[in-house]
A and B are shown apart, each in its own frame.
Chain A
Amino acid sequence: MNTRRVVITGVGVLSPLGNDMQELQEGLETSRSGVVHVESWSEYKDFNTRVCGLVQWDDYKAIPRKSRRSMGRVAIMAAKTMQDAVADAGLSEEQISNPRTGISFGSTMGSDAALFDSIGTIAKEKTFIGQNSMSFLQFMSHTVAANIAAMFKIRGRNIPACSACTSSSMAIGIGYESIKYGMSDMMFVGGSEEAHPYNAGIFEIMAATSTRYNDTPDQTPRPFDTERDGLVTAEGAGTLVLEEYEAAKARGAKIYAEVIGYATSCDGEHITTPSSEGMEQVMRLALDDANITPDKVGYVNAHATSTPKGDIAESHASYAVFGDKTPISSTKGYMGHILGGCGVVESIIGLISLKTGLLPANKNLVKVDETCAPLDYLFEHRYGNHDIVMNNNFAFGGINTSLIFKKIEE
């Protein structure tokens, strides 16, 4: 089968570490934490976690009112990163609205805040009177994809990717496959999540949130560490512009990297318990797609969320594929878990790694859990000469994704 090469030509990001790629890079380099103490969550009874990774951005008027009215924070942040990515790639309205330009975006939930405002009243008062027309459009599952499509006049394919913590990594994969197999020439891809106590609450119900570091938020989460006590939810968003390589080259586009491999596969087992075998499988499938051997990968950005089971399972899957010679870190220690947005933000960290050589340390990793596999954990930043990185993400439902990016030779 004839396939086409896919490259990244535009980036937009809002993260707890910064609101563009440069700020995100500086946040990593200086080992800053984007996790803060959130006192307002104390209004929920018997709710113990008080830490969250928050994005310091609320310039909502950057998005025109007519577009913004049907967006909650989750879609507004995504739309802002789309604006930035489009500007970064230097695209015209004609290119954006071309029928062969499509999008794929996802989030775990639509806007939690809109959901709470609307459903709470309807359920309690048993009436729809008094509801505005926009609430549902703000909290529906594909709010990010729908709103971005309308705002930017997208005429091509629109495939929402809503699969919890693999939403935005899956969106990148969908965009990559769309171009690789000739369905589109350009795809805007990414995802988002907004911070809300509900996001943290659902994990606390499952005893999976961090609660011991509420007064020292920069000390949590602690992926792979013996003293980890659960995940820290976060918010953020990101957009990548994907283009067919020859077209990007012909228009003189700035190329961040090539997407050379992607795979998604399913555990087909437990609804929440991660499977090491499933994680290993998806990494091997992505390597097959890229047609490379594991030793070619110079850095692995792990999903590791700082939960006891997940980190152990992932470490053994990574060891089975890479052994103990490939530098690996989870960058959730810097900002928490962006859920639907983590895949794209962590992929952008992969692009930073390719650009600068930075192999970011596992923030807060002091002593590796003895039940984790003996990987080449990054305890401090290193700088390498690598040209290939892998980004892995895993979601409820046993859904796994693995993405591989390669530096384009100048």
Chain B
Amino acid sequence: MTEELVRATLKEVLIEEFEVEEDEIKEGANFFEDLDMDSLDAIDLIVMMDKKLNIDLKAEDAQKIRTIDEFVALIMTRA
């Protein structure tokens, strides 16, 4: 799995499921401070990405992610 695919999938999920504006999805964007998400959104983001990419993400991983870059890095360690 390439990082490019992960970023593209994450972008698609953020736009379609969390109604984030495309221009807000920048490298380093913070889910909670920049994208108006919260801890419940983080859990559901984990679930959706897990289903899309068929990787081993758990609800507790939601506590480890704050930014898009951190999340992409976490996924790459499980890919």
Q: Which residues of A contact B (CB under 8 A)?
A: 61, 65-66, 69, 130-134
A-binding segment of B5-13, B25-33, B40-48, B66-74: B40-48
8 Å CB contact of B43 from A61, A65, A66, A132:
A132
What CA separation (Å) do A116 and B38 show in the bound complex?
26
Q: Assess whether A134 is in contact with B47, with CB atoms less than 8 Å apart.
A: no
How far apart sit A65 and B38, CA to CA, in the bound complex (Å)? 12
Q: Is the CB of A134 within 8 A of B40?
A: yes
Q: Are A131 and B36 in contact (CB under 8 A)?
A: no
The contact size tier of chain B is 10 to 19
Q: Which residue of B lies closest to A128 (CB)?
A: B59
Chain B, residue nearest A65 (CB) = B19
Chain B residue contacts of A134, Cβ below 8 A = 40, 44
| CA A134 to CA B51, docked complex, whole Å | 16
Contact indicator A133/B51 (Cβ below 8 Å) = no
By a CB distance below 8 angstroms, the chain A residues around B47 are 130-133
The 6 closest A-B pairs by CB, nearest first: A132-B44, A133-B43, A65-B19, A133-B40, A132-B47, A133-B44
Which residues does B use to contact A, with CB under 8 Å? Answer: 18-19, 36, 38, 40-41, 43-44, 47-48, 50-51
Which B residues touch A131, using CB under 8 A? 47
Chain A to chain B contacts (Cβ below 8 Å), 13 pairs: A61-B19, A65-B18, A66-B36, A69-B40, A69-B41, A69-B44, A130-B47, A130-B51, A132-B44, A132-B47, A132-B48, A133-B44, A133-B47
Shortest Cβ distance from A298 into chain B, in angstroms? 49
Number of CB contacts from chain A to chain B under 8 A: 22
Residues of B within 8 A of A133 (CB): 40, 43-44, 47
List the A residue with the shortest CB-CB distance to B50: A130
Q: Which residues of A contact B48 (CB under 8 A)?
A: 132
A71 to chain B, nearest CB (A): 13
* Complex: chain A residue closest to B59, CB-CB: A133
A301 to chain B: closest CB distance in Å? 40
CA gap between A133 and B40 in the complex, in Å = 6
**Closest chain B CB from A31 CB (angstroms):** 41
> In the complex, which residue of chain A has the Cβ closest to the Cβ of B38?
A66
12 new A-B contacts, CB < 8 A, other than A66-B38, A132-B44, are A69-B40, A69-B41, A69-B44, A130-B47, A130-B51, A132-B47, A132-B48, A133-B40, A133-B43, A133-B47, A134-B40, A134-B44
Residues of A within 8 A of B41 (CB): 69
Which B residues lie within 8 Å of A69 (CB)?
Answer: 40-41, 44
> Once bound together, how far apart are the Cα atoms of A331 and B16, in whole Å?
40
Q: CA of A134 to CA of B43 in the docked complex: distance in angstroms?
A: 10
* A320 CB → nearest B CB, Å: 53
Q: How far is the CA of A130 from the CA of B47 in the complex (A)?
A: 6
Question: Which residues of A are found within 8 Å of B38, using beta-carbon distances?
Answer: 66
**Once the chains are docked, how many angstroms separate the CA of A82 from the CA of B44?**
27
* C-alpha gap A130/B44 in the complex (Å): 9
Q: How far is the CA of A66 from the CA of B41 in the complex (A)?
A: 9
Most buried by B among A65, A66, A131, A132: A132
**Alpha-carbon distance between A132 and B59 when the two chains are bound, in angstroms:** 10
Q: How far is the CA of A66 from the CA of B32 in the complex (A)?
A: 12
Q: List, in ascending order, chain A residues with CB within 8 A of B50's CB.
A: 130
Residues of A within 8 A of B40 (CB): 69, 133-134
CB distance from B47 to the nearest CB of A (A): 5
B residues in contact with A66, CB < 8 Å: 36, 38
Question: Once the chains are docked, how many angstroms separate the CA of A130 from the CA of B51?
Answer: 7
Task: Return B51 CB to nearest CB of chain A, in Å.
Answer: 7
Shortest B78–chain A CB gap in Å is 15
Chain B residues lying within 8 Å of A130, measured Cβ to Cβ, are 47, 50-51
Q: Which residue in chain A gives the minimum CB-CB distance to B43?
A: A133
Contacting residues, chain A, for B44 (C-beta < 8 A): 69, 132-134
The CB with the most chain B CB atoms within 10 A, among A65, A131, A133, is that of A133
Residue in A closest to B44 when the chains form the complex, CB atoms: A132
- How far does the alpha carbon of A363 sit from the alpha carbon of B51 in the complex, in Å? 50
CA distance in complex: A216, B50 (Å): 47
